[in-house]
Amino acid sequence: MLARHQKILELLADKEDLSVKDLSEKLNVTGATVRTDLNILAKADKIERVHGGAHIKEGRTRQEYTFQVRKSLNANKKEKIGRAASNLVSPFDSIILDSSSTVLALAHALRLREDLTEITVIPTGIWTAIEMMGCENINVLLPGGYLRHASGSITGLPTTGFLNDILIQKAFLGALGISVKNGVSDTHLLEVELKKYIVNKAKEVIILIDGSKFNQTGLATFAGIKQISTIITDTSAPKSEIEKIKKSGVKVIIAK
């Protein structure tokens, strides 16, 4: 698959449907090129064409596919980040795993840690919870809340109420963007509010984020840089930004 085709899928997964004009502007290619790309993706049963644009299939198919698209982006980097993050988990830990695709890679890595005993995992996303199924050495504690269909995240007052009396030792969170100036940010406001709550409650806050997210900014910040204990990223992260973050007193681990 062409990198441009993958980008189209990513954009559609985020926005649900886009016009040829929108895609042309975002990809910096002609409308004719976009139409050709959309026809190829439609024939491959990846999208559905509509008048003047395209969208990813409706219903459950779309929900699953949306997450699969995010999961596949920078998959190799996410796998390395997930493995590195798994080394920070110890027996008897209580940890929160958010609904991001990078944290899902951590959940997968934890499945391979047979030495872990009596740890409690609190997933705030259904895909992360499903990944933990069958791990008899891991206790999975599911919070209640409202399901966000596009991402599979669980948010809202029921979720924060559930977490009130839980002692969270480590929170592993993904993000849309990170910078020294704007901190760690995301786009969906209910998820941002939940992450703010988790950041203020957890003993350690560990951000899992690949190099493409540096100097990017979402709609709202859920943590300032100095609220973060550790950032785990990959070798593509900009060195200048990494040095600024380290000077703020945050530990940075480069997954290789």
- List pLDDT tens digits, range 6-31: 778 777 766 667 899 989 988 899 99
According to DSSP H, which parts of 116-214 are helical?
126-131, 157-163, 189-201
Cα separation, 193 vs 209, in Å, equals 19
Which amino acid appears at position 19 of this protein? S
Q: What is the pLDDT of residues 239-251, one digit of tens each?
A: 999 999 999 999 9
**pLDDT attached to residue 147:** 84
Q: Which CATH number fits domain 3-72: 1.10.8.590, 2.60.40.1120, 1.10.10.10, 3.90.1150.10?
A: 1.10.10.10
- Cα gap 42→184, rounded to integer Å: 36
Q: What is the pLDDT of residue 219?
A: 84
Per-residue pLDDT of 144-186, as tens digits, reads 888 877 677 888 877 888 899 899 999 999 998 999 999 999 9
Sign of CA dihedral 49, 52, 53, 57: negative
Instruction: Give CA–CA dist 87/38, Å, rounded.
Output: 42
| Weakest mean pLDDT among 12-26, 30-44, 128-142 | 12-26
**Strand order, beta sheet including 48-50:** 17-19, 53-55, 48-50
Q: From residue 77, how far is each of 117, 135, 232, 256 by CA, in Å?
A: 27, 24, 11, 8
Could you tell me whether strands 183-186 and 154-155 are parallel, antiparallel, or unpaired per DSSP bridges?
A: unpaired
Number of H helices, E strands in the chain: 10, 15
- Hey, is 231 helix, strand or coil? strand
Quickly state the pLDDT bin for 59 (edges 50, 70, 90).
very low
The pLDDT assigned to 68 comes to 58
Kindly indicate the confidence band of residue 66, based on its pLDDT and cuts at 50, 70 and 90: low
Q: Round to whole Å and give the CA distance between 142 and 126.
A: 9
Q: What angle do CA 52, 53, 57 make, to 5 degrees?
A: 135
Fill in the DSSP letter of residue 119: E
Q: Which helix (H) or strand (E) holds 62?
A: helix 59-72
> What is the DSSP track for 162-174?
HHTT---SEEEE-
- CATH architecture, range 75-255: 3-Layer(aba) Sandwich (3.40)
Which among 137, 118, 115, 141 has a CA at the least distance from the CA of 128?
141
Three-state DSSP state, 255: strand
What's the whole-model pTM score?
Answer: 0.76
- How is the chain split into domains, by residue range? 3-72, 75-255
Q: Indicate if the pLDDT at residue 70 is higher than 80.
A: no
64-84 burial: b if 16+ Cβ within 10 Å, else e: ebbbebbbebbeebbbbbbbb
Backbone phi and psi for residue 138, each to the nearest 5 degrees, phi listed first: -120, 130
User: pLDDT band for position 73 (50/70/90)?
Assistant: low
| 22 Cβ contact list (under 8 Å, min separation 6) | 15, 53
For residue 84, what pLDDT band results from cuts at 50, 70 and 90? very high
Tell me, what amino acid is at 202? A
pLDDT (0 to 100) of residue 61: 43
